[in-house]
Amino acid sequence: MNKLIVIGVVLILIIVGGVYYGYYYFSTGNLNIYIQDPPGNLQNLKIYLTISSIMIHKINGSWITISNKSITVLLTSNITFITSARIPAGEYNEVFLEISSAQVVMGNLNISAKIPSGVFKIHIINGMYLKGGSSESLLISFPHVTFANGEIIISPSVTAKVIS
């Protein structure tokens, strides 16, 4: 009799676990985020961005936090992985990057770059639809770095697009 009870409890736990896992798996998808600066844009400069927060905007109006971990990346023409996260399935249209610092290295010179407002609110070109159980990758591009009034300014005209 005790064996039957134990077997019954184990079967119930397996079924409940399977239902939970199936719901979680098919109601979420994996998002990978990459960053890149177009070739030739930086000339002989190295720009390091410290990203303190990454969020993504779901069409229904909610913002989902991808990462609150500080990540320092070098902008290069190579595609660089930043982070990944499992997020709810759905349609997304913007990415939000909070930048805590931007450093420009020119030879032996290390200069702080100016980022107007300290954030980038990035439009996802043609949007992104994440299906449950699937994976998508976003590439964020920084096309405009300018020099004005003795300051290096990283333009907020940043874009993101889905890549395969």
Nearest to 54 by CA among 122, 133, 127: 122
Enumerate the β-bridge partners of residue 117.
Answer: none
Q: What is the pLDDT of residues 129-141, one digit of tens each?
A: 999 999 999 999 8
pLDDT at 114: 77
Given a cut of 80, whether residue 121 has pLDDT beyond it is yes
Whether the predicted model's global pTM rises above the 0.75 cut: yes
Q: What is the mean pLDDT of the chain?
A: 82
What residue ranges do the domains of the chain occupy?
A: 2-163
- Write down how long the chain is: 164
Mean pLDDT for the stretch of residues 43-70: 90
Per-residue pLDDT band for 144 (boundaries 50, 70, 90) equals low
126: alpha, beta or left? (left if phi > 0; alpha if psi -120 to 50): left
Output the furthest CA–CA distance in the chain (Å, rounded): 84
